Amino acid sequence: MKILVTAKRVEDPESKIKVKPDGSGIVQEGLKYKINPFDEIGVEEGLRLAAKHGGEVVVVSIGTKDVQEQLRHALAMGATRAVWVNHAGALDQLGIAALLQKVVEKEKPDLVVLGKQSIDDDQNQVGQYLAEFLGWGQATFASKVESLESEAEKNKVPAVALTADGKAVRVVREVDNGLATLEVQLPAVVTTDLRLNQPRYASLPGIMKAKSKPIEELTPEKLGVDVTPRIQVLKMSAPPARKAGIKVPDVATLVEKLHNEAKVV
Amino acid sequence: MPIVLIVAEQQPDGNLRKASLNAISAGKALADKAGAELHLVLLAKDPAKLAEELKGTGAKAVHTAAAPEFEHYLAETYAPAIAALAQELKADYVGMASTAQGKDLMPRVAARLKAAMATDVMAINGSGADVTFTRPMWAGNVFAEVKLTTPVKVFTVRATEFPAAATGQGAAEVKTFAAKVEASKTKFVDFKEVKSARPELTEARVVVSGGRGTKGDFKEIEALADELGAAVGASRAVCDAGWVPNDLQVGQTGKVVAPQLYIAAGISGAIQHLAGMKSSKTIVAINKDPEAPIFQVADYGLVEDLFKVLPALRQAIHGLK
Ligand SMILES: Cc1cc2nc3c(=O)[nH]c(=O)nc-3n(C[C@H](O)[C@H](O)[C@H](O)COP(=O)(O)OP(=O)(O)OC[C@H]3O[C@@H](n4cnc5c(N)ncnc54)[C@H](O)[C@@H]3O)c2cc1C
Ligand SMILES: Nc1ncnc2c1ncn2[C@@H]1O[C@H](COP(=O)(O)O)[C@@H](O)[C@H]1O
């Protein structure tokens, strides 16, 4: 099974994001960068599927030279090789999906696994755009019935299950009010939710090996894609601050405030 | 005249998903600003009943298509039908509530329409051709004003930011259209519903949420919720551990709620959690750690053991009645 996974470079989810005073972007100084957490879950799921069914995991990232760091991270986890689409300017989801479509057409994977959303843009779009561009089926928000503390999880069982004939995958999805299960014919697009798996740590030998794994360089020009953004971010601002609250000494005071001041109980 | 097309959503139980009404009022606001006409669309096995309900929301027309394939929602069968209608109407905007279905479906519709898309729209600004959307980025740490420059523009609406449209006004024309159902590569297998007697998390007036501090013991959270007629929520840590259903997760990647009262017990207040509840009217935090970041957004904070506080709080609230 050949599995293509994505690895977007994003700000560490623990970092404090501040908007520049002129609203033109966020303050970059002091920020750390990581692989998008949902994408790391995608890499893990790909590795589990490849371990179970044979095959390889190829990782793709789009961005400046810096994204090689995230590609190396995925390679250290166990991906076989990487594709880097070198592009420096702004990109939107349409552009990213169009680039990924070309990479998919070149690589011809059986399955593409992406994160459901990137934690910087929070758009939750690329996987669905890509599936439609390719004319493939999609299963977004992939999860599983077992918890992250289950035996299945400890044994690194892939939650995305290949059907007996090997022609489709069965995916449990997190949706409103419950879990929906779909069967999607391969090739297919899957996007990950948080509870799909707990990604492994890269081992020291893994990190060493990753250094010599190949990274192929492509560009939007080479792929023949016009990536001019069709989403213009005109201005960024900080969300309105909540007015400062108070600490109350005990339950009696709390209930008094909720009853007489906030009038909510 | 430009056209705004809003997609209404039918729940598996046959009822209208309430967030659709919030999306309809966002659609109205957009239509006013863009000088456009508001149309609605509903796909279902049998859309007649909900079409009656949607008729009174003040839209110009309600377009419905019936097909047995629409019984179980699939992006692959819904997207072509909605995109085809949008093309036929020459719709300029196509929107839907930011529900699980909205997030799954609308990018696929956008892809067919070669449209750029804004997710989780919180406000609509400007007028005419200069309409822009405000949407959150970085877990709500940043509000961005964005302009979509494709001829057709697609968006989803954060329901907490727009009022629910009333249903008793006006009588839209209900039109049926023949949707071509494409063969799907995807098969619906099943839907396991998490049933709860409590109010829906996203619609409740009061939400009581528990975090890792509960150590998985939700009895007091639930008892307080029941005393208040509230919904139960949770942090990611709690859902990941399998202590409560995933569907209760509040935050950047879970549900966004804005109740009159949000009570957070044993929740530290990570930015990803705050992203889902910061717009609540009144926030109460109960946490042993006086430094917990949740206190920075709480109107009333109590530094105490939640296992001591919750029973006392429940009794004191009961005593008010
Ligand atoms: C990509 C990504 C997406 C995420 N999305 C979400 C999301 O949507 N929603 C979400 O909630 N999180 C999300 N998270 C996780 C988030 O970063 C935090 O890890 C999580 O919210 C922590 O949950 P918690 O507050 O319950 O646990 P902890 O941070 O462990 O906090 C537990 C708190 O309980 C207190 N406590 C312990 N015992 C008691 C007691 N007896 N009485 C009172 N207080 C007590 C402690 O002082 C502590 O403050 C996301 C993270 C990532 C990386
Ligand atoms: N620059 C990028 N490089 C690689 N993958 C990306 C990039 N941008 C987005 N993606 C993928 O698309 C998913 C959804 O992103 P988004 O629609 O922007 O929220 C992410 O989780 C990634 O898997």
Nearest Cβ partner of B185 from A19, A184, A233? A184
Tokens at residue B27, please?
């659609």
Ligand 1 within 6 A of CB of A119: yes
Cα(A143)–Cα(B238) distance, rounded to whole angstroms? 15
pLDDT in tens, chain A (265 residues): 999 999 999 999 999 999 999 999 999 999 999 999 999 999 999 999 999 999 999 999 999 999 999 999 999 999 999 999 999 999 999 999 999 999 999 999 999 999 999 999 999 999 999 999 999 999 999 999 999 999 999 999 999 999 999 999 999 999 999 999 999 999 999 999 999 999 999 999 999 999 999 999 999 999 999 999 999 999 999 999 998 899 999 999 999 999 999 999 9
> In ligand 1, which atom is closest to the CA atom of B235?
11
Residue pLDDT, tens place only, B236-250: 999 999 999 999 999
With pLDDT > 70 as the criterion, what percentage of chain B qualifies? 100
Q: Quick check: is A184 in a domain?
A: yes
Confidence bin at B71 (pLDDT 50/70/90): very high
Residue pLDDT, tens place only, B37-55: 999 999 999 999 999 999 9
Report the residue count for chain B.
321
Taking 90 as the threshold, does the pLDDT of residue B302 lie above it?
A: yes
Nearest CA among B292, B285, B320, B290 for reference residue B306: B285
With pLDDT > 90 as the criterion, what percentage of chain B qualifies? 97
Pick among B103, B109, B114 to test the A interface (most A CBs inside 10 A): B103
Pick among A31, A91, A125 to test the B interface (most B CBs inside 10 A): A125
Beta-strand pair B300-303/B282-287: parallel
Residue B319 alpha carbon to ligand 2 centre in Å:
52
φ, ψ (nearest 5 deg) of residue A10: -135, 165
Ligand 2 within 6 A of CB of A6: yes
- B290 class by beta-carbon count within 10 Å (0-12 exposed, 13-18 middle, 19+ buried): exposed
Cα(B220)–Cα(B232) distance, rounded to whole angstroms? 11
Q: Is the peptide bond before A187 cis (omega within 30 degrees of 0)?
A: yes
- How far B170 CA sits from the closest chain A CA (Å)? 30
> In ligand 1, which atom is closest to the CA atom of B305?
42
Cα(A203)–Cα(A13) distance, rounded to whole angstroms? 22
Question: Which contiguous run of DSSP H or E holds residue B63?
Answer: strand B61-66
Residue pLDDT, tens place only, B52-68: 999 999 999 999 999 99
> Which CATH number covers residue A99?
3.40.50.620
Q: What angle do helix axes A126-134 and B75-89 make, rounded to 10 degrees?
A: 80
Tokens at residue A21, please?
């005073």
Tell me what percent of chain A is helix, strand and coil, each rounded to the nearest 5: 30, 30, 40
Tokens at residue B22, please?
């919030």
Cα(B85)–Cα(B62) distance, rounded to whole angstroms? 12
Nearest-ligand number for the alpha carbon of A12: 1
Range(s) of the domain holding residue A170:
2-240
Cα(A20)–Cα(A83) distance, rounded to whole angstroms? 33
Q: Quick check: is A57 in a domain?
A: yes
Annotated domain spans of chain B = 3-176, 201-320
Residue B178 alpha carbon to ligand 2 centre in Å:
35
Q: What is the ipTM of this complex?
A: 0.97
Q: Mutate which of A14, A194, A196, A251 to test ligand 1's pocket (most atoms within 8 Å of Cβ)?
A: A194
CB atoms inside a 10 Å sphere around CB A260: 9
Q: Please state which of the four CATH numbers 3.10.20.30, 3.40.50.1820, 3.40.50.620, 3.40.50.12280 is assigned to the domain occupying B3-176.
A: 3.40.50.620
Cα(B20)–Cα(B283) distance, rounded to whole angstroms? 26
Q: Quick check: is A72 in a domain?
A: yes
Extract the runs of DSSP E, i.e. beta strands, from chain A. Answer: 2-6, 9-11, 33-35, 56-63, 81-86, 111-115, 137-143, 161-162, 168-175, 178-185, 188-192, 215-218, 231-237, 246-247
Nearest CA among B186, B184, B185, B224 for reference residue B207: B224
A107 near A58, Cβ under 8 Å?
yes
Contacts of A22 (CB under 8 A, 6+ apart): none
Q: Which residues pair with B87 in a beta bridge?
A: none
Q: Mutate which of A36, A45, A128 to test ligand 2's pocket (most atoms within 8 Å of Cβ)?
A: A36
Q: Quick check: is A259 in a domain?
A: no
The per-residue pLDDT for B170 is: 79
Nearest-Cα residue of chain A relative to residue B260: A264
Confidence bin at B321 (pLDDT 50/70/90): confident
Q: Quick check: is A104 in a domain?
A: yes
Across the interface, whether the CB atoms of B111 and A184 are under 8 A apart is answered no
Ligand 2 within 6 A of CB of A129: no
Ligand 2 within 6 A of CB of A121: yes
The per-residue pLDDT for A169 is: 98
B129 touches chain A (CB under 8 A): no
Across the interface, whether the CB atoms of A235 and B11 are under 8 A apart is answered no
Contacts of B313 in chain A (CB under 8 A): 251, 254-255
Contacts of A80 (CB under 8 A, 6+ apart): A56, A57, A58, A213
Residue A197 alpha carbon to ligand 1 centre in Å:
18
Nearest Cβ partner of A132 from B111, B137, B146? B111
Cα(B321)–Cα(B314) distance, rounded to whole angstroms? 12
Residue pLDDT, tens place only, B164-191: 999 988 799 999 999 989 889 999 999 9
> In this structure, is the dihedral angle defined by the CA atoms of residues A19, A22, A24 and A28, taken in order, positive or negative?
negative
φ, ψ (nearest 5 deg) of residue B31: -60, -40
Question: Which contiguous run of DSSP H or E holds residue B7?
Answer: strand B3-7
> In ligand 1, which atom is closest to the CA atom of B252?
8
Q: Is A93 helix (H, G, I), strand (E, B) or coil?
A: helix
Atom 14 of ligand 2, nearest CA residue: A117
The per-residue pLDDT for A132 is: 98
* DSSP per-residue codes, B96-163: EESSHHHHHHHHHHHHHTT-EEEEEE-EEES-GGG-EEEEEEGGGTEEEEEEE-SSSEEEEE-GGGSP
Contacts of B118 in chain A (CB under 8 A): 231
Beta-strand pair B123-125/A9-11: unpaired
According to CATH, what is the number of the domain B201-320?
3.40.50.1220
- B296 class by beta-carbon count within 10 Å (0-12 exposed, 13-18 middle, 19+ buried): middle
Ligand 1 within 6 A of CB of B217: no
Cα(A67)–Cα(A71) distance, rounded to whole angstroms? 6
